[in-house]
Amino acid sequence: MGNSGMRVEHDSMGPVEVPAKALYGAQTQRAVNHFRISGRPMPAAFVQALGHVKAACAQANRDLGLLSDEMADAIIVAADAVSRGEHAEQFPVDVFQTGSGTSSNMNANEVIATLASRHLGTLVHPNDHVNLGQSSNDVIPTALHVAAALALRQRLIPAVLELAECIDRRAADFSGLVKTGRTHLMDAMPVRLDQELGAWAQQMRYGAERLEDGFPRLVELAIGGTAVGTGVNAHPELGDRVARILSRRTGVVFVTKPSRFEGLAAQDTAVETSGQLKTLAVSLMKICNDLRWMNSGPLAGLGEIRLPALQPGSSIMPGKVNPVVPEAVAMICARVMGNDVTIGIAGQSGNFQLNVMLPLIAHDLLESIELLYRGVVLLREKAVEGLMVDESRLRAALERNPILVTALNPVIGYEQGAAIAKRAYGEGRPVLAVALEMTGLDEATLRRLLDPMRLTGIAEEDSGRKT
């Protein structure tokens, strides 16, 4: 025993002082000592995926006769605890570490070996037993894929689809309400509110579809490739067995990479997934900006909708309430877009047989997934579900909209229509009144041609619904 509260551990480089109560050993402590950079450890989802991978490897090695039943069972019990998120404080290695993630792999090996040794009552070695048939070079990419696949399938994709369904329900609540459409932020032809919200819902459904489209590549695992893809020191069946075991453990069907060399040398699938997350972030930011504009005012802005009032909006202006949820989600989207740039740079950062920014890719990809999940849930619960519409505001703006004259173009021509619109703008009068004076069309014909509901694609016989 060295300093108070410390113990001495050894690795191939010699002795290292480690906190007496730590479950990890010398290699983890070296990483803690060397990489005091961000104070941000690897994401919990990644550590839990490491637990799944280590348990699956132990089971596969037992089934292949390479580990005794007792040894394998002890490792599985310990790895299961890690996969459940237990002992999270025992994974302190900074995200900015060795590019292969060796420090995080050894962190898992050492913690699991300590727990397994206690369970078994005899020494379980972190390299010889827990890491049997593995290398950091195939374990870390495998854990990255497992963690991302689970986070997408169990959290983000269901949340995105639930938001789409929520938007659809609210669109149905507002069916029949017509408003002024806008292009270039300027008044345009009318649209129904359910059409406008329906576009948002479709964006979300496409976002989920894009993530699903990449799933066949995300569930491919590099495990079994070991150091450079050749599988040195691993049983030839290890990778396939681990993939099947992980499938049973998680409910997500995993397979091995058709080329384990590609699985180690490149992280194109992570880059692809990040790009899909960025697209989802772009969609969400568009929706958030629409909500903010529609909610603007309440007097000097558009004031078409009212978002739920959640908190005071100003430390100096009493009574001010801001669209805080769309603002927070927009910031999430900005972060995800930034992460995508980082992941793109990291994805091409390696030479020959190994990418050497694996921890950074894992950290930022999982952060993007988790942030988007939380943002999607927040937007649904705190904005969309409680959104209210000011029907009188919609109606008043629609009645004053000279762009309605567009509907008369086939009858009176573009030039006369432009003159009517210009006069209506200048005099602040409805198009109908000006058109009555400037065309030979009777009021009944004009009302039919200028009916806003009809102009949104509803058949004339249905145009008696609320406008």
Q: Tell me the residue type at 71.
A: M
CA dist 273 to 214, 218, 246, Å? Answer: 7, 8, 21
| Residue 314 falls in the annotated catalytic set | yes
Instruction: Kindly name the residue from 4, 12, 184, 315 that is annotated as catalytic.
Output: 184
Q: Could you give the residue ranges of the DSSP H alpha helices within 121-229?
A: 136-151, 157-173, 193-213, 215-218
Instruction: Kindly name the residue from 314, 349, 368, 392 that is annotated as catalytic.
Output: 314
| Residue 125 falls in the annotated catalytic set | no
- Give Rg (Cα) of the chain: 30
Please answer whether residues 279 and 210 qualify as being in contact, where contact means their C-beta atoms are separated by less than 8 angstroms. Answer: yes
Please answer whether residues 128 and 61 qualify as being in contact, where contact means their C-beta atoms are separated by less than 8 angstroms. Answer: no
Question: Among all residues, which ones are annotated catalytic?
Answer: 184, 314
